[in-house]
Amino acid sequence: MALSLNSISRAAGLSAPRLLIYSDAGVGKTTFAAGADAPIFLCTEDGLGTLQVDAFPKLNSFGDVIEALSALYNEQHEFKTVVLDSVDHLEPLIWQQVCAEHNKNSIEDFGYGKGYVEALSQWRLLIQWLNALRNDRGMGIVLIGHAEIRRFESPEVDSFDRYQIKLHKKASDLIQESMDCVLFANYKTVVHKEDKGFGQKKSRGVSTGDRVLYTEARPAFVAKNRYSLPGELPLSWEAFSQALRQSTQPHTQTQQPQQEKGA
């Protein structure tokens, strides 16, 4: 491809966001996604409960997932957001697909770590379909995942535990890179210090009952966003979309009229 200065164009502005939201079970991530604009759910688990949303039948193979994405891409519909619930229940379906293609009984049969590398090709295929729905059909993307606590080996400080997405590390890294936001949902916790006597204090975490959406990484969890969102938001689609609109509005500066000398 020949490039010149005539090839330069200005970015078109905000596209439909690509989100991954993860948390422990029961915090409200599926309810959050149900508040998105005209959502259609692709479920790899029975996680909808009593939510009244449009959804494909439960998808029991990776081929089913791709078939559903293909239908959303090629057929006429009014849906504006595709919700995949959940990525960690999708992962074993991807492993099954990879094992079937290579005549293996288990993802471990490939040899040390090789099966998980091979699985990345299927994850990339998923991302290609999601990006096509976003770029060509204008659909927002919401991926739902569960959290797990893992040891983080930091090159700068001593190792520590933190919440991470419940996926194999290679798949988790790839998915996080492809998303505009990685959001961690949890109950708001405050630390109370109790007097144990003799000048000693005991710290105790107490939940306030408020559900919070974190948009920036902290030592306790993985998160990110590309929109300069506040680091902490209420766990609701309305609060998230309002913050998104405010953060992406063009900022204009108005000059105050100068006061005349001697006035």
Domain ranges of the chain: 15-194+202-246
Q: Where are the beta strands (DSSP E) in the chain?
A: 18-23, 39-43, 54-55, 81-85, 140-152, 160-165, 181-197, 200-214, 224-225, 232-234
The predicted model scores a pTM of 0.86
In the CATH hierarchy, which fold is given to the domain comprising 15-194+202-246? Answer: Rossmann fold (3.40.50)
Q: What is the mean pLDDT of residues 144-150?
A: 97
d(CA 88, CA 84): 10
Asked if the model's pLDDT at residue 193 lies above 90, the reply is: no
Q: Encoding tokens for residue 54?
A: 């449009």
Contact present, 116 and 94 (Cβ < 8 Å): no
52 alpha-carbon distance from chain centroid: 22
Asked if the model's pLDDT at residue 190 lies above 80, the reply is: no
What is the sign of the dihedral through the CA atoms of 55, 59, 63 and 65? positive
d(CA 228, CA 234): 16
The torsion of the CA quartet 61, 65, 68, 73, rounded to 10 degrees, works out to: -150
Residue 29, C-beta contacts closer than 8 angstroms, at least 6 positions apart: 21, 22, 23, 144, 185
Give the strand pairing for 54-55 and 81-85. Answer: unpaired
Q: Which of 64-68, 208-212, 244-248, 257-261 has the highest mean pLDDT?
A: 64-68
Q: What is the mean pLDDT of residues 169-178?
A: 97
Could you read off the pLDDT of 242-262 as tens digits, one per residue?
A: 999 998 776 444 444 444 444
Lowest-pLDDT choice from 84-98, 148-162, 241-255: 241-255
